[in-house]
Amino acid sequence: MLTLIALAAFAATMLGGLFAMRLKDRLHLILGFSAGAVIGVAFFDLLPEAVELAGEGTEPSFVFLIVALGFTLYLLLDRLFFLHGHGGHEHTDEDASAAHCRRGAFGAGSLSAHSFIDGLAVGLAFKVSPSVGLVVALAVLAHNFSDGINTVSMILKNAGTRALAFRWLLIDALAPVAGISVAYFFSVSEEQLGLILALFAGSFLYIGASDLLPESHHAHPMRWTTISTVIGIGALYFIVRFAGI
């Protein structure tokens, strides 16, 4: 069963990424959808799951403190190391290009790390019981397609090549497979897993709101990119609800 779930997660992620690469000429619309999807994952998937897994022993206020920490850490990394901005005069073209590469790689890496945690959660859930594992697996599979879109979008919008986008897509597609495999060898408490998800929720909120969303309507009509963003948020809401989270 776990082998089939791992293969399905790989396939769904790859399909989402290849879809984004196919429609590269409509990147602003893909970015708009991707921004909504990333924000939707944070609000409808990661945050509720983080609060639930943290349990009664952890105050919700502490969980949201970790969310704020994730947001702030990503903010500091973006501003201090990635030279965030749209081509300001204080940096050379070479500096800006290197910063774009670092930002794209870090964003794609964060999304891939989340995919790894997804796979880990599936493996650990099956250790609890097959029924719990199946519910978690359905939830993960439900948004793997958008994970692929988001990863490719992060690379392409930061001036990455299609080859680089495909390599990161492959990493992201393999990440849940690796997570499921690693779950065989160790376990973490539900509280620890909840806090890890809260940290990712904060970083996802930053990626969606401060990176993908502004870039989606930069030099493009705002109406259609805004509609794409709303569709992305709505799609993740219905996906998560359908998955029974």
pLDDT at 87 (0 to 100) = 46
pLDDT at 86 (0 to 100) = 45
Residues contacting residue 65 through CB under 8 Å, at least 6 positions apart: none
Residues of the chain with pLDDT under 70: 24-25, 27, 81-100, 128-129, 131-133, 135-136, 138-139, 142-143, 211-212, 215-221, 243-245
- For the chain, the farthest-separated pair of C-alpha atoms sits apart, in whole angstroms, at 57
Written as one string, the DSSP assignment of 57-93 is: TS-HHHHHHHHHHHHHHHHHHHHHHS--SS--TTS-H
Rounded-to-integer distance, Cα 12 and Cα 53, Å: 26
Residues contacting residue 185 through CB under 8 Å, at least 6 positions apart: none
3-state secondary structure 209-245: HHHHHHHHCCCCCHHHHHHHHHHHHHHHHHHHHHHCC
What DSSP state is assigned to residue 23? T
pLDDT, one tens digit per residue, over 2-51 is: 889 999 999 989 998 898 888 766 767 777 887 888 888 889 888 988 89
Closest CA to 201 of 55, 52, 44: 44
pLDDT at 55 (0 to 100) = 83
pLDDT at 180 (0 to 100) = 92
Closest CA to 68 of 182, 201, 173: 201
Residue 125 identity: A
Environment class of residue 83 by beta-carbon count within 10 Å: exposed (0-12), middle (13-18) or buried (19+)? middle
Please give the share of the chain, as a percent, with pLDDT higher than 70.
81
Closest CA to 231 of 36, 30, 31: 36
pLDDT at 88 (0 to 100) = 45
